[in-house]
Structure 1
Amino acid sequence: MTSASLDQVTASTPPPDAGVRLPAWAREASDGVDTAALEDRVVEADLAAAFDTLRDNDEFVTRLRASVVENLRHLHQVIAGRTDLSEVTLVEPFALARLQARLRLPQTALQRSYRVGFLAMWHEWSDRLVERAECDDVPRTESLEALRGMTALLLGYQHHVASQVADSFARADELLSRSREHVRNGLVQHLLREDSTPLPPSDLALLDYPLDAGHVTVLLPAMPEGAVRQSLNALREACHTRDILVHPVGPTGTVVWLAHARPPGWRAARIADLTGYLRGLGIEASVSEPHAGVRGVRAGWLQVQDVQRVRAAWGAAGSPRVLGHLDVSLEILLMADPVKARAFVHAELGQLGADDDLAARLRETVEASHRWGSHVTTAEHLHLHEHTVRNRLQKAAELLGRPLTERRTELQVALRLARLLTERNGRADGPAVPPPVSPGAPG
């Protein structure tokens, strides 16, 4: 006897019967299922079939796994005959359904995940049952009846769970759909897609933000949406604009677009006012360059993500609280290939690129010397004695193996990259922000 597909086995299976009870050998076979390994397979199957864009969303994957674990535990008890279906009480599947509604995932994705997830469970339990039947030389008729009964129990459990979860999803989705901000968030998600189409007039009115204006994007990775909204009036005054679009990014972050619809638009002075205001708040903020039009909304979002990745590589202790795209555009360009960047730093700096405190102090002094010019000014900005600066520069040249005036441009670039690539600052190629907002994954 071999395990067939679920569709083949259930084609002639009657409606699930709550009174089904498997024979003892079949119940014992059900205990042979490795539920921990099955958990991983079901989670992967669900992600691949319905939620592939959410693989990097830690909150979602955690909820999905918790739901799978709870369903496996209850289903195991039902098949083994230790729990009646009417006694099953669910928690995690409902929490996952509410999260799916909040993420604006279609109910078809939820239904697809349940189909593939329970199919994977059926294959595992049916394989164990078939193996036990063959091992014990169970008569074919009895084996088929046991497989039929196990399938009925699994389908009964699936129906019991899926119907309740679908109702929970529908109620949560209805409540969220009544929220204007939720609808606006969906429109923002649409705009951030690479293949987004123009919004109709009704949606533009609901968005209430001039998409044809000039935009500056600000990512506040540690400031929740509610806190941002409490500061909107002050932000409007600081930037001399009334048009602001706020969108949540994950449970603790927010991205903000600020618009200037009329000339002179985003002059340097206005951007300086914005960054000054953000510095006054004392929070982390990544700021884009100005971009125009609908495409500018997405361009700014991509830029602030790039800035945040540089910040993560730089390290929380070393990077400025407010960091603009122009400040690190060179690093963004060069860090597109971290392997080549590391090779370049190693070739240019040699021993000066060592990952220790002495080399770090020397690099800081050389970089400041390039920036400020004279030893006196460098000493003032580093709060050092002029002789200390001279000594450090001499030592840096010794480690470098050449005068600091040779290959000056390459040296300056290598120094900027070195602060991102040292292990003390974390890996430069690691994730810095939640995955880009995509349709159905707003964070």
Structure 2
Amino acid sequence: MGTTASDEFGEVGEPGDVAAIAETVHNAIASRVFPHQVNETAFELKLRQCVRGNIGFLADVAAGRLHHDEPDLGHALAFAEVVAARGIPFEDLERAYWVGLEQFWDRWLTIVGEAAERGEGTVTELIGNRTPAVFGYVTRVLGLVSARYDEASNELARTGAERRRALVDELLGASPPAHTQFLDDELGYRLRACHVGLLLLGDRFQAERRLARLRHETEAPAALLVERAPGLFAGWLGFPGRVDPATVGVLRRAVSRHGEPVVAGGPAPGLAGFRRAHEEATRALALRESLADPADFLWYNDVRLEAFLLENTAAARRFVAEELGELAEANERADRIRDTLLAALSSGSQARAAAELGVHENTVRLRLRTATELLGDDLAERRTELLVALRLRRALGNTGQAPFMDAAG
């Protein structure tokens, strides 16, 4: 009864025995945790080295030849870097350790059982006090491996993000490179797609979450996100063909539903479209700051007239005042008449205007009569000028600046 499982394990701890156990553990991990990755030679080699190192140290710890804090864990840390580089979840790496411990423990219990059958002691006596040491080793390894995995993942994300940002800077610059497959591979995004460009405000986590949600809801096959400035991220959704109105509608509803401001440009195809979609989103963002009451989702196509005309705000205010006269002023009566006139001129129908505004058709008719009294009888002939003036007036809002009539003077 003078022996323990530690002694017994010491007897099977010869190189050939440890190698046999390591092979069993390797095969279990390969088949149960990494069945696809082990077909890659480099991955398989690192896995095998990691398993052999861990089983060798576990054998020494179980036999009492080594304290669990002593081993150099370079083999385990190197494998953690390999797993992180391939984007494999840490949960899989952690599971590999528990599968390995399960196989090791099974072998140890077999040794204990064989020794007990030979009358060398009870199971409890044979196991001795080595169980805490074995679990102490595994716990230590997992803690260090987890930290190294996180370090490697963060470094890969940082260098990958920096590399993508540098490439995007080139693509959006004055002399963009010609399209190559290398660019697609480096960006992880197909530049020959049809692009919707987005600008998102917030931190990286918020921007990634919003882009992922919009990609999911629009079923875009590809997406790209890069930081353009602190708190400002440029995103692209890539589609294989033309972006139809239904997809645009999904995008609008998704943004509105979540209430997070997004500006968009495009859609436009190819490398030139990649640049154009971003440029339009940038102009929409600049315009957003000038608008009185911008919607959560601002699509450049919806406001490109305003974007062009509001480059000179003073001239825009003067045009509005000259075209609308008293109707340009900020009061409830003028607001109602402007909204009605804009709806009627845009739709070309009093009935449709009434439906859009949610009022009776007679109300629309009365308001248009008032507009005619204030602006003259030639509303139809001045339709283009009035539509532009009304859209500009809505965009400018009641900003607290000098009255519009002062601009006309």
1:102-122 per-residue CA deviation (whole Å, 9 max, x = no partner) reads: xxxxxxxxxxxxxxxxxxxxx
2:323 and 2:386 in contact (8 A); partners too: yes
Aligned equivalent of 1:274: 251
Measured on the aligned residues, the alpha-carbon RMSD in Å equals 3.1
User: Shift of the alpha carbon at 1:291?
Assistant: 1.7
Taking the aligned partners of 2:363 and 2:217, their CA distance within structure 1 comes to 41
Q: Which amino acid aligns with 1:210?
A: R
TM-score where L is the length of structure 1: 0.50
Aligned equivalent of 1:362: 337
Picking from 390, 402, 405, the partner of 1:415 is 390
Aligned equivalent of 2:272: 295
Taking the aligned partners of 1:254 and 1:304, their CA distance within structure 2 comes to 11
Aligned equivalent of 1:239: 218
Q: Compared with structure 1, are the counterparts of its residues 293 and 408 closer, same or farther at alpha carbon in structure 2 (3 Å cutoff)?
A: same
1:370-412 per-residue CA deviation (whole Å, 9 max, x = no partner) reads: 2344444433432334444333222222222445334122111
Number of residue pairs aligned between Structure 1 and Structure 2: 249
Q: Compared with structure 1, are the counterparts of its residues 358 and 197 closer, same or farther at alpha carbon in structure 2 (3 Å cutoff)?
A: same
User: Shift of the alpha carbon at 1:415?
Assistant: 0.8
Aligned equivalent of 2:177: 197
1:313 and 1:426 in contact (8 A); partners too: no
1:314 and 1:426 in contact (8 A); partners too: no
User: Shift of the alpha carbon at 1:367?
Assistant: 0.7
TM-score where L is the length of structure 2: 0.53
Picking from 253, 267, 287, the partner of 1:310 is 287
Aligned equivalent of 1:85: none
User: Shift of the alpha carbon at 1:366?
Assistant: 0.9
Q: Compared with structure 1, are the counterparts of its residues 281 and 332 closer, same or farther at alpha carbon in structure 2 (3 Å cutoff)?
A: same
Picking from 318, 322, 333, the partner of 1:343 is 318
- Secondary structure of 2:290's match? helix
- Secondary structure of 2:199's match? strand
- Secondary structure of 1:313's match? coil
Taking the aligned partners of 2:395 and 2:289, their CA distance within structure 1 comes to 8
1:331 and 1:416 in contact (8 A); partners too: yes
1:419 and 1:425 in contact (8 A); partners too: no
User: Shift of the alpha carbon at 1:303?
Assistant: 0.4
Tell me whether 1:329 sits opposite 2:308 in the alignment: no
Aligned equivalent of 2:207: 228
Tell me whether 1:284 sits opposite 2:253 in the alignment: no
Taking the aligned partners of 1:425 and 1:314, their CA distance within structure 2 comes to 13
Q: Which amino acid aligns with 2:326?
A: Q
Mind listing any 5+ residue stretches in structure 1 that lack a counterpart? 1-173, 428-443
User: Shift of the alpha carbon at 1:324?
Assistant: 1.7
Q: Which amino acid aligns with 1:382?
A: L
Find the structure with the greater CA-based Rg: 2
Taking the aligned partners of 1:208 and 1:196, their CA distance within structure 2 comes to 18
Picking from 164, 175, 193, the partner of 1:213 is 193
Taking the aligned partners of 1:325 and 1:301, their CA distance within structure 2 comes to 10
Mind listing any 5+ residue stretches in structure 2 that lack a counterpart? 1-153, 403-409
1:139-164 per-residue CA deviation (whole Å, 9 max, x = no partner) reads: xxxxxxxxxxxxxxxxxxxxxxxxxx
Aligned equivalent of 1:80: none
Aligned equivalent of 1:393: 368
Aligned equivalent of 2:166: 186
Q: Compared with structure 1, are the counterparts of its residues 266 and 380 closer, same or farther at alpha carbon in structure 2 (3 Å cutoff)?
A: closer
1:365 and 1:389 in contact (8 A); partners too: yes
1:182-209 per-residue CA deviation (whole Å, 9 max, x = no partner) reads: 2222222222212233477655432111
1:312 and 1:426 in contact (8 A); partners too: no
User: Shift of the alpha carbon at 1:217?
Assistant: 0.6
Q: Compared with structure 1, are the counterparts of its residues 379 and 351 closer, same or farther at alpha carbon in structure 2 (3 Å cutoff)?
A: same
Aligned equivalent of 2:117: none
- Larger relative contact order (CA 8 Å, sep ≥ 6): 1
Taking the aligned partners of 1:426 and 1:195, their CA distance within structure 2 comes to 41
- After the TM superposition, which residues 19-418 of structure 1 pair with which residues of structure 2 at under 5 Å, given as runs? 179-198=159-178, 204-220=184-200, 222-260=201-239, 262=240, 264-315=241-292, 318-418=293-393
Taking the aligned partners of 2:385 and 2:261, their CA distance within structure 1 comes to 30
Moved more, 280-289 or 227-236: 227-236
1:314 and 1:425 in contact (8 A); partners too: no
Taking the aligned partners of 1:284 and 1:426, their CA distance within structure 2 comes to 25
Q: Compared with structure 1, are the counterparts of its residues 183 and 386 closer, same or farther at alpha carbon in structure 2 (3 Å cutoff)?
A: same
Q: Compared with structure 1, are the counterparts of its residues 361 and 416 closer, same or farther at alpha carbon in structure 2 (3 Å cutoff)?
A: same
Q: Which amino acid aligns with 2:264?
A: V
- Secondary structure of 1:290's match? strand
Taking the aligned partners of 2:401 and 2:223, their CA distance within structure 1 comes to 34
Q: Which amino acid aligns with 1:305?
A: T
1:323-373 per-residue CA deviation (whole Å, 9 max, x = no partner) reads: 222212222233344343333222221222223343222211111222344
1:287 and 1:324 in contact (8 A); partners too: yes
Q: Compared with structure 1, are the counterparts of its residues 201 and 385 closer, same or farther at alpha carbon in structure 2 (3 Å cutoff)?
A: closer
- Secondary structure of 1:257's match? strand
Q: Compared with structure 1, are the counterparts of its residues 374 and 204 closer, same or farther at alpha carbon in structure 2 (3 Å cutoff)?
A: closer
Q: Which amino acid aligns with 1:240?
A: E
User: Shift of the alpha carbon at 1:257?
Assistant: 0.5
Taking the aligned partners of 1:290 and 1:278, their CA distance within structure 2 comes to 17
- Secondary structure of 2:175's match? coil
